[in-house]
Structure formats: C-alpha cells, structure tokens
Structure 1
C-alpha cells in the first residue's frame, strides 16, 4: 500500500451522507425513515448538516465540527455563529469530511477524517468518533482504528446493515493496485472495528462513497469518478455487489456526493456535490427517481450553503431536535444577501464599494452584514459591516459605498432603507431608499446603486435573498 493522494487532485477524499438503517415509509410526509426506528423517524421534519470550513485564501480555515440546520434541506442556518461545536483532541487535532449517523437506539454517532489542514503527507489509519444524544453535547471522543495499511482513511460514513445486524463503516483508501477504492469495516460499538474489506472497486479510482440504503429494496452508492459524481446500486449490501449505472453529473469538477431524501415528497431526492478545496462551492441536483439515475441541476436561487462550508454530511432530524439546536447554539448575528438573477453572487464591499461578487471569496467577512434598525427611521434597516463595524452602506450620488457613520442626519438618511417584498419574487426582499423613496438598491454591472425600478430586469436586479 502507499499513501499517495488521489491522482485527480492533491486533496484526496471527502465525505458524504445518507447511509442509514432499514427504511420505513412515512405516512405523514411520504419520506423514508433512515435510521433509528419507526417512532422517532416518523417525526423527522428538518435536517442538520455537519461540515468544516475553508475559504479561497484560507481565512476561514477551521477543522472542527460545524453544524447548520434547515427545515427543507436547501436553505441553511449555521449554528454557534458558524464556529465549531466540537474539536478533535487527538491525532492531527483536526477533522475533515464529517458525517452524522442516527443509530438504531435513536442517538447519534459522528465520524470524521483525521486531518487538520492540508498536510497531504499525513497518514492516519484512524478516524475521529463522538457520541451524542442530541447533537448539543458530544461525549466519548475517541479515534477508531480501521486498518494497518500505509494509506490514509478518508471520508468515513456509517450505515446499519440489517442482514448482518451490525454497522458498516465505509471510507476511501488506496488499495494494493495503487488506486483508490471504497473499503468497509464492520463494528457494533464504533469503538473497535473488524478487519477491512474492499467494498467497491470497479477497477479505477473511486473516492467519497455515499449510501442510501433500502430504497424500494435497492441500495445506492454514489461516489466521485474522474471529477464527476456517479452512482452504483445493489440489492444487497455485500462487498463487491455494487455495479455502476447512473449518468454522471458535475459542475467544473465535483466531489463529495451527498444524497438527501426530501421530507416533503415521496419521490424527490437531492444530490449535493462540492468543488474541491479551497473554494468549496456546493452544487445540487434533483431527481424524482433514484432508480432512473438521471439528475437535473437545481437553480442556485433554490439553495444556499452555510458560509465557507466544506464536505458536508446531512441527517434528518425531528422538529424538537431542530428547535433545540437553534435554542442551544443560536442563529448568526449577521446575514448575507444573495442576488436574485445572479444567485452565485452575494452583496459585499470591496475597497469600500458596494457590489455583488461570486461566492466564494476572501475576505469572506466583506459579505457579512448586520441588518440593524434604520439610522434615520427605526422601522427601516441599515447595513452595518461586520468587519468594519463603524461603517455602513450608504448611497452617494446614487452609488452605494461603505462609509464611516459621521453622526449627521444626512448620513443617517443615506444609510436607511425600507425592506419590502421582493420586486421580482415576493418571497425574497427589496430595499427602498429612505430619502429617495422612488429608488431601490439594485446592481448594475455588479455594482450597487439606487435607481427607479420599472422593467423586469431592473426588478430582478433589485431583489435579494436575506440568509446566511
């Protein structure tokens, strides 16, 4: 064996999501219960995401466990101000590629790659493990050894194998032929693991295995192949039983597949993918039939990843768990604003000029805003910069710029806007100027200004999604 990273790029593997326990149809939502038992699974109504963070210039690099929640699995709220909720203390003292499994008893186990940062020469036969009853406290931290091979253990995921009455842990590693395969170990307690076996080896490099178990009697394994996401399937979970079948999807090179079952539809599935470090842009696809193996790209207006998130795992949770997580960790004290007609772009300041730029960028804090009561009218809003808190977005000669609040009534008026229903989409938002009430914030050639709005294009330019 050797420790050579994946040959496609210098950052080998990533993680994924939804390989869970025996599935049960849900009468209330039509979704699949993947995990703990019918009673608990039947109340799943939201999602939790786990991830680590990086950004293009690595200003956001943090290799602890991060969490976000979502009622629909598409729009996400980072918890704990997007700071980690747990951090490894052994091995490399950092993690990548985290994954959450709801176990058969209804509690959770968290797994992750043992690697802090981007030292691709570091080799660990171990993975990080935590136990949790509620994802608000993390106990029993340990590392679990998977093998004695001279190769790293990447992107662990776990699932319940009902036929064996035990859990399987799949992960990426380099095999004796020198290419990446997906391995499996079996464990009953996530403390000790059985001998490693090859789970999936089609004869070419594959990494980042992600399972959906027991979907109409079929098990689906998605993985990265040649910078694309591809699926294989099997009617059993036996090692070596999966065969490739799906149409490949990609967005300029994609890894880290994450399959997510819609809780609102009996047939809808989402497939998330991640561009590799450090940009970490998530893309999503949708299908109404896993069996068909074909996917349609989602409009980026429909989903928003947590800021700086990388290599996510997604797990269904109950409404009580969702509310308890928000109560424990809180929502961010800041917002980001996404453009309606350029949904890959976010409102930011650059050289103190207001504009919209394509995510991801650094300093990422340029896109974080506190929407505070309007300086001229508290029923309006003003946009206070997070990284320059003495400065606010204001218009000057109708162009938006980030200026220090000088305390004058003129500044207060220029920096105050009324939040209204979105001019292009009422579920989004538009912002009308306080002292030029016929004008709204809009982008023109990606630069922000206030203008009168009348055409369809102008309405789209003036519409934004306020999220995180």
Structure 2
C-alpha cells in the first residue's frame, strides 16, 4: 500500500551515537554461511527497524527488530528476524525506531507510536525504552513531546546538545501553517520534555530529520523533501539555523535518510528506503560530507535485513556485536543474491527455481536452509523454508523444487558443491554433484545447470550467500 501523499506517513533515519566513544578502527566481516556469523574484531553497527512484507501479509510486524553488521553494509538479522521488544501502550505498535547511545554509554530507543498505516492517527507521544546492552529493554513508557492537537509525532530521533546540556528530540509534526515541519523538544532524562519548537521549516513539507553532529565543526541535517533526500547544515544546533545545501538524491520515491560514518575510512553512507510496504533500501556514499553530493553504492555491496522498513543505525563495539549474536543467534536460513542482477534473489515460483527482484511475495519463497548435501555431506542441498519437504534439484538441467522421494537419483540431482564465485571469488558458485562440468546459473532469470565458460556465464553462475 503506497502512502497517499509525499508526507502521509512517518519515516526513519539514524544518529550514529557520536557522543559515545567508539574505537575508529574496524576489521572483519560477516561470515555469510548457513546460520553462522563470525565474531567481530572491531567497532561494528546495529540496525533497528520494523517489518512490512508485500501487501502487509506474513512478515509484517510493528515491533523493534535488530540486525548487526561488521562493515555497515551487509546485515545479520537477529532473533530469526522476529521482534526483540514490542510496545504495550498507545497504538500497540511502532514505526521508525531510533537507537542512540547516551552520554553515560547506555542506549535509549525511541519510536513512532503507530501500528500499520493509519496515517490519520494523531499522537503527542512516542515509545521509549532504556537498555544497557540492547539485549534487555527496561523502563518502557510513552513520552509526551508537545501539546499540539490534531497532529502527529512521527520519526523521533535524538542528539546530544552540549551547549544546552540536554538532549534534543527531533520529530515531524504539522505546524500552524498546515504543513509538516521538523520539531524539537528537549529532555535530560527521556521521561519529560520541554520547550517544543520548530527546528527546521523551509516553508513547505519536510519530514524525517536525521542529524550528524559535530563533523569538523558542522552539523548536518538530512530530511525528506518532495520524495527525495536533501541536506541542510549549520555550525550550531539552534532551531532555525540550518540552511539547505545538498544535491537531492532518490531512487524513485525515497524517504527515511540514515547518515552513517564508516569506521575504517573517510566514507559516509546515506541510506534511504522507498514508500511501499516491504520498502527497498538504497545507499549512496561520499568521502566529503561538506560537498553535499552523493554517488550510488553498488548493490552488490549491501543487503538490507529481510522485510526491513525505516531503520536506524548506531555504532557498537565488537564485544557488543558478539554479545548480541550470542543472545539472539544468527538466522537458520539464508538468501542468495545474484551477482550480475544484485536486486534479484534466488526463489521458487510455481516450484520453478528463478531469480526475482526484492521484495519477493511470499517472502519465504526466497529463504533457504543450506543443509549437508543429500548425496554427499561435503556438498550442499537447498531446502525450502516455505516448503520444507522440497529441495532445489535439476531435472533436464532445469532447477525446480521437488519433494525428496528418498531415491539416489533425487539426492544426486539435489546436491551441489560450493566453490569460490566464478565471477568474484568472495562470492559463491555451485557445481552440480552428478554433472560436475555444470554449475547453477540463471538464464532468462530461470535457474538451470550449464557448462560455464564466458564472462557473462560466470556472472550468471555467481551468488552471494547472505541473509
């Protein structure tokens, strides 16, 4: 379901916990194998989000979900992509969660008080949790932001304002002129707020404010304007001091900006996602935040958590990454991304194996358990999550999803040997067990096993095993 207008629903962004001290060097990467994740060896990232699947069906959940990453681009959903906290007051659901590390090193989680897509619902409150480690959540409460009537409190996020000795909470509401502006209310404890006022108003609708504070003496505010992501900046955090400066970026109708600083380089990423349920995340990058210009990131390099919407990304330590994985576990399933069509994933449709663009409906048709090969345990077989009695096997060289009949022939047809990716050795390719000169590849988006010799065929036969 699309939003009825450019500003008819809340969105999400990030504040990268800049008040917290986090080491700036990071190494290591996710081990994208079946149900496993490597330990982090340096500063990492956590993403908070809610989930919406296509047509708001199975896979839609308005609770707090978490994923972790060592590189800020590839994400490991926690708790099998189920929520780790759920609101019990207000609308009994959340959108647009925001995670911030406070001055004392603990975390606070904020979120819009809204379940589903009832954009006409008004609320002066937001959801709040406290957490020492993002493994337990305490002190759940509703926090009142303002006294305005007939308006909303969308997409809250917070920042530390050292000059005031208080936290500012940004959120989107309709002002007296009738258009959306970015408001701020101040707090010391996230239990009461004071001095609600307009933080940024260019004279027309803007929502989804996201701040990066104190970058070479400048503060950067990114927001959604007319279906694009736009930046403003100021040398202070005073309401009304920000001026627009950047070139807009978008991929279709885009909202929910998230600014993220790399731990290992001068790179900044700007994330945004599309409006539709099961919105698609896109990322841009720059090495100079002051330039206001962005370059699209190759989609091979990043993968959003399944069904994720309107996220927040915060810096965490390697130990916090490891503790979160230990607490919630890695997924018991994988997704396989196409190398030369990185917006497409391996799925079954009508029991035929193919690659289709994300989002996929039903989404579970793109989830696989990579189990020991049925004919050779050193190989791998692809067990369907949505149809667990069925496996991908080749038949007349075409891949289809069939019930395991227990025969030797089926076991051999359904067994493959994982190799270094033929087009990129950091990815994976899969060689047929009983036709060892043939590899799984796509042709016309349909999966089959073929001999591979040309560069284009090698690209067709290369996949990323992720989540």
TM-score by length of 2: 0.94
For residues 92 and 450 of structure 1, do their structure 2 counterparts lie closer, same or farther at Cα, with a shift above 3 Å needed?
same
Counterparts of 1:131-170 in structure 2 under 5 Å? 131-149=130-148, 150-170=150-170
Cα distance in 2 between the residues matched to 1:7 and 1:170: 24
2:5 corresponds, among 2, 5, 8, to 8
Aligned partner of 1:46 in structure 2 is 44
Counterparts of 1:43-82 in structure 2 under 5 Å? 45-59=43-57, 60-82=59-81
Aligned partner of 1:408 in structure 2 is 407
Counterparts of 1:16-415 in structure 2 under 5 Å? 16-18=13-15, 20-22=17-19, 28=25, 45-59=43-57, 60-149=59-148, 150-265=150-265, 267-415=266-414
1:231-266 deviations in Å (ceiling 9; x for gaps): 00000000000000000000011000000000011x
Whether the 8 Å contact between 2:12 and 2:310 is mirrored in structure 1 is yes
Cα distance in 2 between the residues matched to 1:178 and 1:63: 28
Unpaired runs of at least 5, structure 2:
28-40
Could you tell me how far 1:72 is from its partner in structure 2? 0.5
Could you tell me how far 1:147 is from its partner in structure 2? 1.1
Could you tell me how far 1:10 is from its partner in structure 2? 6.7
- Alignment length (residue pairs): 451
1:148-175 deviations in Å (ceiling 9; x for gaps): 2120100000000000001000001111
Could you tell me how far 1:118 is from its partner in structure 2? 1.1
1:254-292 deviations in Å (ceiling 9; x for gaps): 000000000011x21000000013131000000000000
Cα distance in 2 between the residues matched to 1:234 and 1:25: 25
Aligned partner of 2:460 in structure 1 is 461
Could you tell me how far 1:88 is from its partner in structure 2? 0.2
Whether the 8 Å contact between 2:26 and 2:263 is mirrored in structure 1 is yes
For residues 428 and 25 of structure 1, do their structure 2 counterparts lie closer, same or farther at Cα, with a shift above 3 Å needed?
closer
Cα distance in 1 between the residues matched to 2:361 and 2:7: 22
1:182-210 deviations in Å (ceiling 9; x for gaps): 00000000001113100000111100000
CA RMSD of aligned residues (A): 1.6
For residues 28 and 309 of structure 1, do their structure 2 counterparts lie closer, same or farther at Cα, with a shift above 3 Å needed?
closer
Cα distance in 1 between the residues matched to 2:415 and 2:465: 17
For residues 19 and 175 of structure 1, do their structure 2 counterparts lie closer, same or farther at Cα, with a shift above 3 Å needed?
farther
Aligned partner of 2:37 in structure 1 is none
Cα distance in 2 between the residues matched to 1:463 and 1:436: 18
| Stretch moving more, 18-27 or 423-432 | 18-27
Aligned partner of 1:38 in structure 2 is none
Cα distance in 2 between the residues matched to 1:126 and 1:261: 30
Whether the 8 Å contact between 1:19 and 1:160 is mirrored in structure 2 is no
Could you tell me how far 1:61 is from its partner in structure 2? 1.1
Whether the 8 Å contact between 1:125 and 1:148 is mirrored in structure 2 is yes
For residues 332 and 24 of structure 1, do their structure 2 counterparts lie closer, same or farther at Cα, with a shift above 3 Å needed?
closer
Unpaired runs of at least 5, structure 1:
31-42
Could you tell me how far 1:19 is from its partner in structure 2? 5.7
